[in-house]
């Protein structure tokens, strides 16, 4: 990311807000500590100098668009992950593409606010450049497309007991805080099953059963639509390897249904798990 | 909550493996259960009587009957509750302790324990049941029959004879389909046209039947009793109200070299034409692609000679919409295009390698050779003829995996006809199996063998020209020897495949097709002419390969279903449908994408949320189209959709009970 990117984005945000193209502009601003950034929604051209766009902007901001629905066009900085998240929200009919104005930037990866190491989600990133945008600021960047299924390979090679132990250890640490859901751009239901006030659904205690149920249901509810932004894993306060299940599903869906990536990247029609076709793969029947 | 549990002995069917008395005793311990009883045959009149009186005496408000599969008697017990008690008939659950329990277990202890579990699950589910109510939907007493082959004609005639109007839609210019192209029909050898054309004219003259030729189904919406169908009638360029069908235009048309579709390319026709003399409607149409006037503006001969002035060069397609109560799909079949698949048979390069349908035209007295068996290349009589069966059929590598069913008899008939007309000829039939199940069929095959047909068990591996003939090479698998037969003509009995456009028709009608592309019946044995879309029925080869008698029988069966529907005049709606909770619906459209029946749609709804008026996109269920399959309730992540009668809550309680 170039040094003057922040200034370029501020200029663009000011222009867009002044000209009335957008009613608000979503980006990041510095937070309480050094290297901490927090999402910000700018509503007035006078406030654009709050915006910072640099290698510490670790959070995905696309989902904030949902809070501004119906208030006019929403401006937003769009890296690869934001653009895919917007595509996801469009495919889920939560926003329409015309309601969002994307200022695209190429991204070379973000750094961990504690210690400055590259973020895992950025090291696995498949789309550093936005897949959709209304204008680009700066140059596009090279796409290394690293292999991201190493952990899946490792778990697949385990014995069933080992594998069970791996996931039991993972889920037993879950604090059921639902941060993974709250950041996920594919988790855009109006009401989540986890919040249902029904007896016998999701238990509210901290048992392994409940957290395993939550973890698997969350993975299945988003599995065919995961854009692999890695936000669930980054947001998890317990540091659980949540992307293992997501990567596994992404790869399985690719193998079963052909080349496919969540986030509406392929034009093959609706998501594979939400379509009805008589010639569908059903080797299990 | 006052639940009653009734456990059925089913004679010894259940009681032989399951201790029904113990199941009834255990059931009494379940929450909400106030009464339990056993019965020798619950479905019998005294059995039903005892259930009804127990419901009244114990003031039961929910009922579990542990008996056979709900497919067997759920409807019986629902009817019983509705008619003989004050209870809502949907406050009933069936625990299947026969098919899924007593029949599959030998150990009495295991069987009894499982029956107890199944009853406990049903009790858990019935606790969540809510009263459901049916409504009566009116039925438009008018039928649409798609396809004017013998299946469609027969179905249309039967429905029309019962007094209901029928529209018979055919995309070609005449009805009659494939049957009218055939020469004779096995095994009785009666003339196909002689029995088919009277049906055709009967259909044309029946006041209840409207024949729409050159017409295709453009779109279908609605549901059983009320389908709105848009039909596109292609331009005919001839005013049928004025045309008398005198045929003068055909004789004068200067464009005469167009291969005749009816004669399978073995003769030619004109640009204004009737496909064959007995065509119905018995009036010509202009083939716009070949007409000089329509292509270049120069000609107009037919207009000049027409004595009634019926020619309309400015004719256009007509699109009409009509409401129908039932739709019959009789779209038939076509023969597999073997030329693209069988390079070893010459891929169509050798004129004397013909299909069975071409042979039908050659052997037919009104065909291109006036019934003399003359091979296409030099119009000489073939002295040796080879018939190859299963070309495309039962050949998953090249053609289709299924058996086309009619070809064994069809091939025997061809051999018989050939030997009859060429007494000094020799006929070889290469076969994989001879399948002659049918009344008089095997006798016919035996007669063909007696006629002198030489049956060779094996596939032909190669056909190549030699001199003025063809050599068929194959293996006689019975002797293990390689066989080379010098033939003058080869007849390929090609596979039946679904007619072109079946896929598009299936999606318009929302009916399913099997892997081979034929339309799928609702149940292979018990509902063979219905589809899973209520109000859409199947007749003839559209459902799967079959011969003429089976096709006609199926068409009659379809007609009886349609007449039954029309006679009732209204249908009771199924209340076990999807229901949407708009407050949870985010309008993501997943349900719309997965619905096989097109029953779901998105609408803009004005809602009141948190004391604010909002307009949001939410899902809406069309209760006429919904079949209650539940696909949407599974696809809906937030649980906005639920299937009445199979609510998520009820299923969860069932599972919960099983896990206790």
The domain boundary residue, chosen from A136, A165, A187: A136
Per DSSP bridges, beta strands B426-431 and B454-457 are parallel
Burial class (CB in 10 A: 0-12, 13-18, 19+), A243: buried
Q: Give the model confidence (pLDDT) of B361-393 as tens digits.
A: 999 999 999 999 999 999 999 999 999 999 999
Same domain, A13 and A129: yes
The kind and range of the H/E element at A271 are none
Same domain, A31 and A90: yes
Is residue B597 very low, low, confident or very high in pLDDT (cuts 50, 70, 90)? confident
Q: Do A276 and B515 touch (CB under 8 A)?
A: no
Same domain, A128 and A157: no
Residues in chain B: 660
Same domain, A112 and A165: no
Same domain, A128 and A169: no
Within a domain: B134: no
Q: Do B653 and A92 touch (CB under 8 A)?
A: no
Within a domain: A284: no
Q: Which domain holds residue B207?
A: 145-218+325-332+506-570
Same domain, B398 and B482: yes
Same domain, A132 and A42: yes
Within a domain: B135: no
A112 vs B: CB within 8 A: no
**Which residues of chain B are within 8 Å of residue A92 when distances are taken between CB atoms?**
586, 588-589
What's the rounded Cα separation, in Å, for the pair B454 and B461? 18
User: From the list B584, B586, B594, which residue is nearest A94 (CB)?
Assistant: B586
Same domain, A196 and A129: no
Within a domain: A281: no
The domain boundary residue, chosen from B544, B570, B596: B570
Same domain, B264 and B304: yes
What's the rounded Cα separation, in Å, for the pair A21 and A103? 12
Within a domain: B651: no
Same domain, B47 and B121: yes
Same domain, B380 and B355: yes
Same domain, B564 and B589: no
Average pLDDT, chain B: 94
Residue pLDDT tens, chain A, 285 long: 556 899 999 999 999 999 999 999 999 999 999 999 999 999 999 999 999 999 999 999 999 999 998 889 999 999 999 999 999 999 888 999 999 999 999 999 999 998 999 999 999 999 999 999 999 999 999 999 999 999 999 999 999 999 999 999 999 999 999 999 999 999 999 888 888 777 667 777 778 988 999 999 999 999 888 999 999 999 999 999 999 999 999 898 888 877 777 665 656 566 777 777 766 766 665
Q: Give the model confidence (pLDDT) of B417-471 as tens digits.
A: 999 999 999 999 999 999 999 999 999 999 999 999 999 999 999 999 999 999 9
Within a domain: A74: yes
Same domain, B566 and B512: yes
Window from A264-268, B235-239, B341-345 with minimum mean pLDDT: A264-268
What's the rounded Cα separation, in Å, for the pair B185 and B440? 12
Q: Do A192 and B513 touch (CB under 8 A)?
A: no
ipTM exceeding the 0.95 mark: no
What's the rounded Cα separation, in Å, for the pair A70 and B641? 25
Is residue B196 very low, low, confident or very high in pLDDT (cuts 50, 70, 90)? very high
What's the rounded Cα separation, in Å, for the pair A61 and A45? 19
Question: What CATH number did the domain enclosing B265 receive?
Answer: 3.30.70
Contact A130, A80 (CB under 8 A): yes
Same domain, B370 and B480: yes
The domain boundary residue, chosen from A136, A171, A203: A136
Within a domain: B83: yes
Same domain, B512 and B421: no
Contact B157, B134 (CB under 8 A): no
Mutation to test the A interface, candidates B509, B638, B651, B655, most A Cβ within 10 Å: B638
Question: What CATH number did the domain enclosing B158 receive?
Answer: 3.50.50.60
Mutation to test the B interface, candidates A196, A278, A282, A285, most B Cβ within 10 Å: A278
pLDDT value of position B99 = 93
**Number of domains chain B is built from:** 5
Higher-scoring residue by pLDDT: B612, A234: A234
Identify the bridge partners of residue B321 per DSSP, sorted by sequence position. Answer: B230
Q: Which domain holds residue A236?
A: 150-274
Same domain, B297 and B424: no
Same domain, B583 and B613: yes
- DSSP label of B238: B
Within a domain: B223: no
User: From the list A192, A271, A279, which residue is nearest B638 (CB)?
Assistant: A192
Is residue B160 very low, low, confident or very high in pLDDT (cuts 50, 70, 90)? very high
Same domain, A89 and A14: yes
Within a domain: B536: yes
Same domain, A110 and A11: yes
Within a domain: A145: no
Within a domain: A29: yes
Question: What CATH number did the domain enclosing B622 receive?
Answer: 3.30.70.20
Within a domain: B392: yes
- DSSP label of B380: -
Q: Long-range contacts for B309-313 (Cβ within 8 Å, ≥24 apart)?
A: B309/B242, B310/B238, B310/B239, B310/B240, B310/B242, B310/B243, B310/B244, B311/B237, B311/B238, B311/B239, B311/B249, B311/B272, B311/B286, B312/B237, B312/B238, B312/B239, B313/B237
- Written as six digits, the tokens of B349 are 């390069």
Across the A:B interface, residue pairs with CB atoms under 8 Å apart total 57
**Number of domains chain A is built from:** 2
A69 vs B: CB within 8 A: no
DSSP B135-182: -EEE----EEEE--SHHHHHHHHHHHHTT--EEEE-SSSSS-TTGGG-
Q: Do A191 and B638 touch (CB under 8 A)?
A: yes
What's the rounded Cα separation, in Å, for the pair B174 and B213? 6
- DSSP label of B498: E
CB-based contacts of A259, cutoff 8 Å, min separation 6: A266
Within a domain: B649: no
Q: Do A201 and B652 touch (CB under 8 A)?
A: yes
- Written as six digits, the tokens of A99 are 């309601």
Q: Please report, for chain B, how many H helices and E strands are present, in that order.
A: 17, 34
Same domain, A183 and A83: no
Same domain, B165 and B266: no
A146 vs B: CB within 8 A: no
Burial class (CB in 10 A: 0-12, 13-18, 19+), B12: exposed
Same domain, B10 and B122: yes
The domain boundary residue, chosen from A92, A111, A136: A136
Same domain, A116 and A217: no
Within a domain: A280: no
Identify the bridge partners of residue B323 per DSSP, sorted by sequence position. Answer: B228
Within a domain: A11: yes
pLDDT value of position B574 = 85
Same domain, A115 and A156: no
Q: Please give the torsion angle defined by the CA atoms of residues B327, B330, B331 and B333, in that order, rounded to the nearest 10 degrees.
A: 160
């Amino acid at each position: 990311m170039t040094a003057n990117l922040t200034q370029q984005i501020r200029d663009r945000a000011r222009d867009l807000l002044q000209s009335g193209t957008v009613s608000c502009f979503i980006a990041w601003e510095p937070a309480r500590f050094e290297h901490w950034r927090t999402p910000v929604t700018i509503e007035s051209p006078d406030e654009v100098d709050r915006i910072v766009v640099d290698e510490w902007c670790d959070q995905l901001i696309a989902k904030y668009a949902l809070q501004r629905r119906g208030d006019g066009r929403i401006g937003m900085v769009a890296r690869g992950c934001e653009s895919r998240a917007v595509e996801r929200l469009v495919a889920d009919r939560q926003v329409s593409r015309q309601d969002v104005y994307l200022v695209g930037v190429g991204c070379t990866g973000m750094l961990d606010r504690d210690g400055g190491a590259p973020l895992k989600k950025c090291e696995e990133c498949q789309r550093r450049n936005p897949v959709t945008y209304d204008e680009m600021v700066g140059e596009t960047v090279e796409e290394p497309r690293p292999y991201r299924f190493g952990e899946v390979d490792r778990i697949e090679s385990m014995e069933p007991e080992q594998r069970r132990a791996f996931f039991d250890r993972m889920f037993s640490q879950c604090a059921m805080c639902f941060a993974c859901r709250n950041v996920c751009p594919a988790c855009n239901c109006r009401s989540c099953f986890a919040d249902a006030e029904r007896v016998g659904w999701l238990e509210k205690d901290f048992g392994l059963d409940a957290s395993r149920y939550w973890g698997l249901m969350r993975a299945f509810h988003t599995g065919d639509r995961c854009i692999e932004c890695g936000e669930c894993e980054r947001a998890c306060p317990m540091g659980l390897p949540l992307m293992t299940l997501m990567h596994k599903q992404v790869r399985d869906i690719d193998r079963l249904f052909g080349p496919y990536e969540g986030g509406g990247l392929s034009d093959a029609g609706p998501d594979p798990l939400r379509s009805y076709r008589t010639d569908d793969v059903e080797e299990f029947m | 909550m006052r639940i009653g549990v009734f456990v059925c002995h089913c004679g010894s069917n259940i009681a032989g493996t399951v201790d029904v008395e113990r199941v009834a005793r255990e059931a009494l311990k379940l929450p909400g259960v106030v009464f339990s009883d056993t019965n020798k045959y619950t479905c019998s009149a005294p059995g039903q009587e005892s259930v009804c009186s127990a419901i009244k005496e114990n003031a039961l408000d929910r009922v579990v009957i542990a008996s056979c599969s709900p497919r067997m008697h759920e409807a019986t017990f629902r009817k019983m509750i509705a008619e003989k008690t004050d209870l809502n008939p949907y406050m009933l659950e069936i625990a299947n302790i026969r098919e899924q329990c007593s029949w599959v277990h030998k150990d009495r202890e295991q069987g009894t324990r499982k029956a107890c579990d199944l009853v406990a699950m049903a009790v858990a589910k019935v606790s969540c049941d809510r009263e459901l109510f049916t409504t009566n939907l009116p039925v438009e007493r008018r039928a649409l029959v798609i396809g004017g082959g013998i299946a469609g004609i027969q179905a249309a005639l039967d429905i029309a004879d019962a007094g209901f109007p029928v529209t018979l839609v055919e995309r070609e210019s005449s009805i009659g389909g494939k049957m009218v192209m055939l020469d004779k029909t096995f095994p009785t050898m009666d003339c196909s046209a002689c029995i088919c054309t009277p049906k055709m004219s009967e259909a044309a003259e029946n006041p209840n039947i409207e024949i729409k030729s050159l017409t295709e189904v453009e779109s279908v919406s609605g549901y059983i009793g009320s389908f709105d169908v848009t039909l596109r009638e292609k331009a005919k360029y001839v005013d049928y109200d004025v045309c008398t069908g005198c045929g003068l235009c055909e004789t004068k048309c200067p464009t005469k070299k167009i291969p005749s579709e009816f004669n399978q390319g073995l003769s030619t026709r004109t640009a204004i034409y009737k496909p064959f003399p007995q065509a119905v409607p018995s009036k010509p149409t202009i083939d716009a692609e070949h007409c000089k006037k329509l292509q270049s503006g120069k000609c107009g001969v037919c207009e000049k000679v027409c004595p009634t002035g019926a020619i309309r060069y400015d004719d256009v397609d007509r699109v009409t919409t009509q409401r129908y109560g039932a739709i019959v799909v009789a779209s038939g079949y076509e023969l597999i295009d073997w030329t693209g698949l069988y390079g070893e048979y010459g891929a169509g390069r050798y004129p004397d390698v013909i299909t069975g349908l071409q042979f039908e035209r050659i052997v037919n007295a009104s065909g291109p050779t006036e019934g003399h068996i003359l091979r296409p290349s030099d119009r000489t009589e073939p002295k040796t003829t080879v018939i190859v069966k299963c070309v495309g059929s039962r050949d998953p590598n090249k053609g289709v995996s299924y058996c086309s069913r009619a070809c064994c008899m069809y091939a025997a008939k061809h051999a018989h006809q050939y030997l009859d007309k060429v007494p000094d000829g020799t006929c070889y039939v290469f076969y994989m199996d001879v399948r002659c199940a049918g009344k008089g069929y095997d006798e016919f095959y035996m007669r063909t063998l007696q006629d002198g047909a030489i049956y060779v068990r094996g596939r032909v591996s190669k056909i190549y020209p030699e001199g003025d003939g063809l050599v068929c090479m194959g293996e006689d698998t019975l002797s293990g020897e390689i066989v080379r037969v010098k033939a003058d003509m080869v007849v390929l009995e090609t596979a039946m495949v679904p007619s072109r456009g079946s896929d598009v028709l299936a999606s318009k009608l929302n009916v399913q097709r099997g892997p081979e592309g034929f339309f799928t019946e609702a149940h292979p044995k018990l509902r063979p002419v219905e589809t899973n879309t209520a109000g859409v029925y199947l007749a003839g080869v559209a459902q799967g390969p079959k011969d003429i008698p089976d096709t006609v029988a199926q068409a009659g069966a379809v007609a009886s279903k349609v007449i039954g529907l029309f006679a009732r005049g209204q249908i009771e709606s199924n209340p076990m449908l999807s229901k949407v909770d708009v407050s949870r619906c985010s309008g993501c459209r997943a349900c719309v994408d997965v619905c096989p029946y097109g029953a779901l749609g998105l609408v803009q709804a004005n809602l009141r949320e948190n004391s604010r008026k909002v307009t949001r996109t939410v899902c809406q269920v069309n209760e006429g189209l919904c079949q209650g399959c539940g696909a949407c309730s599974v696809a809906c992540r937030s649980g906005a959709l639920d299937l009445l009668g199979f609510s998520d809550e009820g299923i969860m309680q069932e599972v919960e009970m099983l896990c206790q």
